Homo-oligomer: A and B are copies of this chain.
Amino acid sequence: MTTPPRRATRQQAAVADMLGQHETFRSAQEWHALLRAAGDPVGLATVYRTLQSLAEAGEVDVLRTDAGETLYRACSAAHHHHLLCRECGFTVEVDGPAVEAWATAVASAHGFALPRHTVEVTGLCPRCAPATSPGVTTSPE
């Protein structure tokens, strides 16, 4: 139970700041590139380490793309799920009381203990969605 001490460093602040300025999910490498571009460079290993501790502290949410990349985003502390744009990473936090109840019910109905769940919804956000003009697909999947 000994929460290891943590020191305040310029690098950790830079990562936290950058996270706070975007509402999109980004990979560690992308955050690293953003920091470098912003003239506030942080070593890649440190970006990974910082994102991980923030994740453990519940200050960022983590998800994995189909391609296997891990994405991070500053999120509110309360339990919630995401509606994520597959094109640009723009994300909206959503809650789903019905889903929570369903997950718990399903688990206990089958005798599973310590249930946990993953729920993500993806799509194309209004900015990235193809124009509603019929037949004209701007960006085929």
**Whose C-beta in chain B lies nearest to the C-beta of A112?**
B123
In the complex, A103 Cα to B118 Cα: how many Å? 13
> 1/0 per position for A85-124, CB-CB distance to B under 8 A?
1100000101010110011001100111111111111111
Chain A interface residue number, banded: 35 or more
Q: State how many copies of this chain the complex holds.
A: 2
Interface pair A115/B121, CB less than 8 Å apart: yes
Interface pair B112/A129, CB less than 8 Å apart: yes
Interface status of A68 (Cβ within 8 A of chain B): yes
* Contact with A121, one of B107, B123, B141 (Cβ below 8 angstroms): B107
Interface pair B118/A118, CB less than 8 Å apart: yes
Given A64-B64, A119-B117, A122-B117, A83 and B106 contact (CB-CB distance below 8 Å): yes
Interface status of A39 (Cβ within 8 A of chain B): no
Interface pair B114/A124, CB less than 8 Å apart: yes
Q: Which residues of chain B have C-beta atoms less than 8 A from A134's C-beta?
A: none
> 1/0 per position for A46-69, CB-CB distance to B under 8 A?
000000000000000000100010
**Which residues of A are in contact with B by a Cβ distance under 8 Å?**
64, 68, 70, 83, 85-86, 92, 94, 96, 98-99, 102-103, 106-107, 110-126, 129-130, 141
